[in-house]
């Protein structure tokens, strides 16, 4: 075993609905010494993302469930502290899928490991947010599934989060009218006044249908789906002929005790006549363009063109509470855990 002391958040039992005490547990874990071609990396920043919740269930989805007693899945920014590889040397910074732990051992040529090309005015943690997987998700889903055209109206739910942030600002740069949906006046004000959206509807205000219709007088051409539920139902009657709906996720259902009984965006959209163009997508469909799109987004962060917010939990011991809060929308912008400098 390696000399490093490690802690990990592991799945002890599968949550039934909302995560409860004892479902996820912080444990001491050994760090395996690297074999030839492998490295040991120290996790500096951990990304918390909604997709992690469905993977705690014992149900086959687009990715395998997390195993019992395994660390919760997740991407991180990490620094190589020990290396037996020519590809990565000690001190190199990478993004990798370490899971929720402080150290990780992996092959230097493992899939989804990328050396960070640091640049001025781009903080490391941005490579987990607007210049990372969420940012690439927003960019690819909008540009390659939504296919925006100047003058169209784009609506994005979870507008102040890292995916919605990139969707909205990218759509504005393409000449679209952009309407966000977010929870609470603070987030809505930020989306309009800081991110530059044309309007933002507060789904917590109690007038979702009327407010969304007022914000979209010419209907909706692209709806970027992040949340499902009441927002999808409000969007549906406003979709124009030829509308496109990239479906990233539907976080409103992720704590459901019976996912099979949930009304998904697919149910809502398929009930329309005509049925709008829509599909679920994964950012890995464009994995071959990972570095190119990361570079585009990082350049926009560096120039100040791409603005964003973060919520940071300090220490791995606070990851569980931060994750539970994120699923209820308590975070503002990208939810991160800062583990080490």
The domains found in the chain, sorted by start residue, are 6-129+309-338 (3.90.180.10), 134-284 (3.40.50.720)
pLDDT above 80 for 261: no
pTM exceeds 0.85: yes
User: What pLDDT is attached to residue 194?
Assistant: 97
pLDDT above 80 for 211: yes
pLDDT above 70 for 272: yes
Residue 3 phi/psi, 5-degree rounding, is -75, -10
**The token pair that represents 11 in the structure block:** 């799945």
User: What pLDDT is attached to residue 325?
Assistant: 95
User: What pLDDT is attached to residue 144?
Assistant: 98
pLDDT single digits (tens) 77-87: 999 999 999 99
Q: How confident is the model at residue 253 (pLDDT cuts 50, 70, 90)?
A: low
pLDDT above 70 for 210: yes
pLDDT above 80 for 8: yes
pLDDT single digits (tens) 15-68: 999 999 999 999 999 999 999 999 999 999 999 998 899 999 987 776 789 999
Nearest CA-CA partner of 198 in 224, 217, 226: 217
Nearest CA-CA partner of 297 in 2, 95, 149: 95
pLDDT above 70 for 241: yes
pLDDT above 90 for 255: no
Signed CA dihedral, 131, 132, 135, 136: sign only:
positive
What integer best gives the mean pLDDT of the chain?
Answer: 95
pLDDT average, residue stretch 143-159: 98
pLDDT single digits (tens) 130-143: 999 999 999 999 99
pLDDT above 90 for 249: no
User: What pLDDT is attached to residue 259?
Assistant: 64
Place of tokens 């603070």: 186
User: What pLDDT is attached to residue 59?
Assistant: 79
User: What pLDDT is attached to residue 117?
Assistant: 87
User: What pLDDT is attached to residue 257?
Assistant: 64
The answer to whether the CB of 27 falls within 8 A of the CB of 7 is yes
Half-sphere exposure of 32 toward its Cβ, with a 13 Å CA cutoff?
9
- How is residue 305 annotated by DSSP? S
Signed CA dihedral, 260, 183, 50, 257: sign only:
negative
111 C-beta neighbours (distance < 10 Å), count = 10
pLDDT above 70 for 312: yes
Q: How confident is the model at residue 256 (pLDDT cuts 50, 70, 90)?
A: low
Burial of 315 by CB count in 10 Å (0-12 exposed, 13-18 middle, 19+ buried)?
Answer: middle
Nearest CA-CA partner of 144 in 167, 162, 161, 176: 167
User: What pLDDT is attached to residue 251?
Assistant: 77
Q: Where are the alpha helices (DSSP H) in the chain?
A: 133-140, 162-173, 185-193, 208-215, 230-235, 265-270, 290-303, 319-327
pLDDT above 80 for 180: yes
User: What pLDDT is attached to residue 229?
Assistant: 92
pLDDT above 70 for 170: yes
Burial of 176 by CB count in 10 Å (0-12 exposed, 13-18 middle, 19+ buried)?
Answer: buried
User: What pLDDT is attached to residue 110?
Assistant: 95
Place of tokens 């930020």: 190
- With a pLDDT cut of 90, the percent of the chain lying above it is 91
pLDDT average, residue stretch 255-266: 76
């Amino acid at each position: 075993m390696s000399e490093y002391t490690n802690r990990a958040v592991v799945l002890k039992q599968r949550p039934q609905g909302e995560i409860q005490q004892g479902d996820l547990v912080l444990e001491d874990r050994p760090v395996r010494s690297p074999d030839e071609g492998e490295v040991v990396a120290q996790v500096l920043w951990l990304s918390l993302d909604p997709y992690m919740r469905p993977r705690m269930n014992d149900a086959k989805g687009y990715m395998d469930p997390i195993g019992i007693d395994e660390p919760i899945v997740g991407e991180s920014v990490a620094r190589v502290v020990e290396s037996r590889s020519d590809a990565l040397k000690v001190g190199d910074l990478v993004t990798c899928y370490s899971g929720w732990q402080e150290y990780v051992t992996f092959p230097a040529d493992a899939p989804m490991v990328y050396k960070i090309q640091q640049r001025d005015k781009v903080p490391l943690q941005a490579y987990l947010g607007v210049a990372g997987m969420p940012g690439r998700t927003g960019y690819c889903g909008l540009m390659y599934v939504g296919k925006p055209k100047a003058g169209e109206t784009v609506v994005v739910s979870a507008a102040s989060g890292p995916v919605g942030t990139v969707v909205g600002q990218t759509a504005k740069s393409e000449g679209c009218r952009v309407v966000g949906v977010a929870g609470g006046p603070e987030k809505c004000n930020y989306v309009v006044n800081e991110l530059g959206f044309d309007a933002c509807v507060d789904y917590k205000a109690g007038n979702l249908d009327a407010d969304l219709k007022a914000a979209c007088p010419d209907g909706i051409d692209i709806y970027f789906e992040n949340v499902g539920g009441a927002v999808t139902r409000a969007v549906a009657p406003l979709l124009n002929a030829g509308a496109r709906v990239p479906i990233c996720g539907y976080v409103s259902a992720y704590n459901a005790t019976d996912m099979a009984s949930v009304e998904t965006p697919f149910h809502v959209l398929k009930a329309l006549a005509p049925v709008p163009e829509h599909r679920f997508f994964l950012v890995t469909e464009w994995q071959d363009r990972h570095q190119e799109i990361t570079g585009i987004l990082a350049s926009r962060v560096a120039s100040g063109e791409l603005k964003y917010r973060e919520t940071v939990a300090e220490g791995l011991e606070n990851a569980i509470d931060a994750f539970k809060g994120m699923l209820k929308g308590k975070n503002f912008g990208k939810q991160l855990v800062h583990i080490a400098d």
